[in-house]
Amino acid sequence: MTGPASLADPAPRAGAPAGSGAPAGSGAPARSGAPTLPAFARPRPRPRELVLLLAVLGAVLVGSLSLGLTRTGRLEPADPVGFALFAAGLLVAHLVLVLAGRRLDQVLLPATAFLAGIGLLLMERLPQGLVVQEVGSTTLGLGELQLVWLGLALVVATTIAVGLRSDRWLRLYKYTWAAAGLLLLLLTFVFGSEVNGSRLTIDLGPVSGQPSELLKVILVVFFAAYLAENRILLADARVRIAGPISVPPLPYLAPIGAMLALALGIVVVQRDLGAALLFYAVFLALLFLATGRLTDAVLGLILFVAGFLALAALFPHVQQRLAIWIDPWSDPLGAGYQLIQSLHAFARGGLVGTGLGAGLPETGGRLPVPAVHTDFPLAAIGEELGVAGVLAVLGGYLVIVERGLRIAASSRDDFRALLAAGLALVVGVQAAIIAGGNLRLIPLTGITLPFISYGGSSLLANALVIGLLLALSDRGPAPPGPPRPPRFARLRGRHGVGARGADGAAR
Amino acid sequence: MMIRERPLAGRMIGLYLVVVLAFGAIAAGAGYWGVVRADELASSPNDAAVQAAARMATRGRILDRDGTVLARSRRTDDGTPYRVYVDDAVSTPVGYASSLYGAAGLERAYAAELTGQTGADPLSRVLAKFLPPADRRLDLRTSLSLDLQRLAVRLLGTDRGAVVMLDPRTGEVLTMASTPVYDASAVAAPATSKKAFARLQADDATPLLNRATLGRYVPGSVFKIVTAIAGLGSGSVTPATTYPEQPAAEEDGLLVDGYRVRDGHHPFTGSTALDLTGATEVSCNIWYALAGLDTGGANLDAFARRLGFEKPIPFDLPTAASQLTNGGGPMAGGFLDDVELANASYGQGEVLATPLQMALVAATVANGGELMEPRLATAFIDRDGRETTIGSHSLGRVLDASANAAIVRAMTQAVEGEYGRLFTDGAAVPGVTTAGKSGTAQIGGTGEPHSWFIGFAPAEAPTVAIAVLVENGGRGGDRAAPLAGRMLRAYFDRQP
């Protein structure tokens, strides 16, 4: 049912219509006449990525100058070394991608860099004492640590983008991945330490992290593999209830039920509404993509809301979260404090903000929002860069989602399409959940704003997502063999399907 | 087996549309808090920036209604700004602003305006970013009268109590006294701040508590005016309503549900069945208990709410909600039974009211049945002397004018009438028809009752309304009514 598992096959088979690595016309034989070489052997310029990266670096430099000007009154970057390292890292990553010669998406890296750059500026701007780590004899503050994590994240993303050439190990071991995910969840529950009433962090000696960040990637892989295999069954086998309303037969409902139980279980056991909402929303979106049954997704959403309300009636901590959302001002100095301070921050920012470094008033050396670097970075952006800054950040996420779905739409088979869509959505939905929480559109949850929030787990897991998306964006040489329809069929298909993006049209 | 024609691709667009809509909603949310609600939140005294600035900035002045400066900023030798207040007597409404302890009173409520954090629309705020910073500090003009404020504090003396005097036509508060007062200048001055504040917090007399707005007291007979408003307003009683069983019940109590509502008897009215005016003049508990039972819990609750009960009154300073019952009773209005309703009808039971609330009851009757929102701030004055006045605002009509006129007559009789004078002659102002109602609130135990008076003058066209409460002050006619009379006389002496 699915296509072959190979991705950019390093050893192209004879008879493949396009020379590997060479720009191919519409199904025409390689026009460049380049000799068939392994894909990584021949550098391929990425002009679009370079231009966009330079634009992003320019914007971040302006931000750094603005912060420096606010702090010292002189026109100088707030942290010249930090900016230089940030720029150098991105340019090196760009160079590596060029040298690898794969035909990877050229927008994802700059879009991510834009968000990460804003995040870095924010971490440099916040009090450095918020997070302090001793490394040997030196003490690193918030901004420096964020820079270190960003560097590692860049290494992760680039390595996967260049190195991941087969998705076989992802798709074949889907139940192993699911088991690993459940194990991770279990570990968090057993060994996890409680922070702010939620059991999210796991401490293993010197290393601590939030497994739910990694779990989201593992779950997307599992969803994609599972749905790719069963989607026809899920879509076509229906039991009619009344009129147009029908549901899949009971056995096929099991995965939805299991996922619902898992999500609600996370809400109760880990007290992590954000992760539950994220996993579940991405699952529903992929279910819709796989089956085309909008009713199933809507039904699933209604079930989740109903389940959540039922939990709110049963568990005080869920109810309190709901109550704060409905009226934070009922407990302005207690449970509602952070959210109210967040809304005030947006209000102080107004349209264009106070300017970097000029907002976030401290009273008695304390920030109005204590968890601003992890849970409320959008409030800080709203204050210092205004509604305009918030819009820019939201736009950044939309670009990433759009690129991801574009990669998905032009993917060769169902698994890759669902995987790419799921990865893109995991970033977009997570951003939407925490942004909506900060703005009191939905109940507040303690998840991070991808690429912007401080935190190693979050940055590395999201780097994994970007790395996988980049790797998936390389459709490589056309896969050989019988599953691929003849050329005229592909041409027909191209005109028949409207969702093919620029990359798809170039094929 | 053929692969289907990329069926997933078509759905991507739909999915992306959903994501775009979700992000659009978030963008709208950012616009809502960042633009639509921005002024309100960013100028709130709870805003972190306002609080931070309030600690360090020099503030605009606070003036009384005649332009006398009540609060001004000075600087220490090293340039640290601090506040100086004209008199301890204004400490209750004006409050304090301290770099160590934050702010209270008007200093807190208008911190944003006084320290120059507000005053521009979103567009000019954007433009202002490109111009040199402007001094946006505003002076605050209040409706307070320093003279009357001082007099009220002096008359309360060593007693704990509160006086609220306001213009019933506009809601402008002329006096808001709460005793004991405190030395706000000592709290504000850097050198004495810590010691002064610690002493205030340790003081059993709670000088930092604004008794006028936050103190909730058993109102006793002054609450009968609320019962009269509810009875006439709902049509349950008329000014001519009499109860034949009332004279006898004064002797041996009124039996309600097996419980006797008792009253000191009024020897001078003998066996006459009283009407509204008569019952108000001699403060007959039995008549009001019967009228309250006729009116019913639902009507009493509804009219009390119209007068401001059961939720904080909108005001420049924090207010406590006055209550009719402890809530939760099975009867309409939250009463447990008829006994509680009967007792509440003459201001006992579980009724609790703030002096400000009772002043508003008097002001409503004085203003022909319409309740005006009480307020202290009347104008902001910018650095160039331009004045922006704050208009008055109606909280709605409580009672129609003709029914209201009957209550005015009854309250006039209670002060000026043959028997009323026996209770409350101290409240009368020579040459001015005065209306009012005294109250002696039994608080249980061995404590002296709270002494109350509410009233207004001149009865024909009221320009001032007043509420006086003296904690454990004894009979209303003995302590609160004469105090109110002195205040009213001082008020009319001021008028040209």
3-state SS, one letter per residue, for A122-148: HHHHCCHHHCCEEECCEEECHHHHHHH
- Contact yes or no for B47 and A497 at CB 8 A: no
Determine the distance in angstroms separating the CA of A241 from the nearest CA of chain B, rounded to an integer. Answer: 25
pLDDT attached to residue B131: 64
Chain B 1-40, residues with CB within 8 Å of chain A CB atoms: 1-3, 5-13, 15-16, 18-20, 22-23, 25-27, 29-35, 37-40
Chain B 356-395, residues with CB within 8 Å of chain A CB atoms: none
Whether A388 contacts A426, CB under 8 Å: no
pLDDT attached to residue A187: 78
pLDDT attached to residue B328: 81
- The closest alpha carbon to A467, from A418, A420, A406, belongs to A420
- Contact yes or no for A285 and B20 at CB 8 A: no
- Angle, to 10 degrees, between the axis of helix B7-31 and the axis of helix A414-438? 10
Q: Is B121 on the interface with A (CB under 8 A)?
A: no
Residues 6+ apart with CB under 8 A from A386: A349, A350, A351, A352, A353, A354, B34
Per-residue CA distances from A423 to A6, A427, B387 (Å)? 19, 7, 59
Residue with tokens 């039922």: A310
Whether A359 contacts A347, CB under 8 Å: no
Determine the distance in angstroms separating the CA of B17 from the nearest CA of chain A, rounded to an integer. Answer: 10
- The closest alpha carbon to A471, from A169, A159, A222, belongs to A159
- Contact yes or no for B34 and A386 at CB 8 A: yes
Q: Using one digit for the tens of pLDDT, what is the confidence trace for A398-436?
A: 999 999 999 999 888 889 999 999 999 999 999 999 999
CA pair distance A296, A299, nearest whole angstrom: 5
Which of B40, B42, B126 is facing A351, going by the closest CB pair? B126
For Cα atoms A108, A114, A116, give the angle at the middle one, nearest 5 degrees: 100
- Contact yes or no for A485 and B49 at CB 8 A: no
Contacts of A440 in chain B (CB under 8 A): 29, 33
* Position with higher pLDDT, A222 vs A271: A222
By C-alpha distance, the chain B residue nearest A4 is: B3
CA pair distance B117, B45, nearest whole angstrom: 10
Best of A115, A342, A405, A472 to mutate (most B CBs within 10 Å, chain B): A405
Contacts of A411 in chain B (CB under 8 A): 8
Determine the distance in angstroms separating the CA of B429 from the nearest CA of chain A, rounded to an integer. Answer: 46
- Contact yes or no for A348 and B26 at CB 8 A: no
Determine the distance in angstroms separating the CA of B11 from the nearest CA of chain A, rounded to an integer. Answer: 6
- The closest alpha carbon to A116, from A397, A339, A320, A358, belongs to A397
**Amino acid identity for residue B103 in this structure:** A
Contacts of B312 in chain A (CB under 8 A): none
Percent of chain A with pLDDT over 70: 77
Lowest mean pLDDT among A10-24, A228-242, B20-34, B84-98: A10-24
Contacts of B53 in chain A (CB under 8 A): 361
CA pair distance A476, A488, nearest whole angstrom: 20
- Contact yes or no for B34 and A346 at CB 8 A: yes
Confidence of residue A198 (pLDDT cuts 50, 70, 90): low
CA pair distance B101, A178, nearest whole angstrom: 56
- Contact yes or no for A368 and B12 at CB 8 A: no
Determine the distance in angstroms separating the CA of A500 from the nearest CA of chain B, rounded to an integer. Answer: 7
Which of A382, A485, A497 is facing B30, going by the closest CB pair? A382
Check pLDDT > 80 for residue A485.
Answer: no
Q: Using one digit for the tens of pLDDT, what is the confidence trace for A373-382?
A: 888 999 999 9
Determine the distance in angstroms separating the CA of A361 from the nearest CA of chain B, rounded to an integer. Answer: 5
- Contact yes or no for B47 and A348 at CB 8 A: yes
- Contact yes or no for A292 and B11 at CB 8 A: yes
Phi first, then psi: what are they for B256, rounded to 5°? -120, 115
Q: What is the dihedral of CA A121, A123, A128, A132, to 10 degrees?
A: -140
CA pair distance B480, B478, nearest whole angstrom: 6
Tokens describing residue A43? 């550098």
pLDDT attached to residue A208: 60
Lowest mean pLDDT among A118-122, A363-367, B218-222: A363-367
Which of A411, A425, A441 is facing B29, going by the closest CB pair? A441
Contacts of B21 in chain A (CB under 8 A): none
Residue with tokens 């002189």: A74
* Longest CA pairwise span in chain B (Å): 110
Phi first, then psi: what are they for B123, rounded to 5°? -70, -45
Going by the DSSP 8-state scheme, the letter that residue A20 receives in this structure is T
Q: What is the pLDDT along chain B (496 residues), one digit of tens a residue?
A: 334 445 677 788 889 999 999 999 999 999 999 999 988 888 887 888 877 776 677 889 999 999 999 999 998 887 778 999 999 999 999 999 988 888 899 999 998 889 887 755 666 666 666 666 667 889 999 999 999 999 999 999 999 999 999 999 999 999 999 999 999 999 999 889 999 999 999 999 999 999 999 999 999 999 999 999 999 999 999 999 999 888 888 777 777 777 777 776 566 677 788 899 999 998 889 999 999 999 999 999 999 999 999 999 999 999 999 999 998 888 888 999 899 999 999 999 899 999 999 999 999 999 999 999 999 999 999 888 899 999 999 999 999 999 999 999 999 999 988 887 777 778 888 889 999 999 999 887 778 899 999 999 999 999 999 999 999 998 888 899 999 999 999 999 987 6
Confidence of residue A89 (pLDDT cuts 50, 70, 90): very high
Determine the distance in angstroms separating the CA of B132 from the nearest CA of chain A, rounded to an integer. Answer: 14
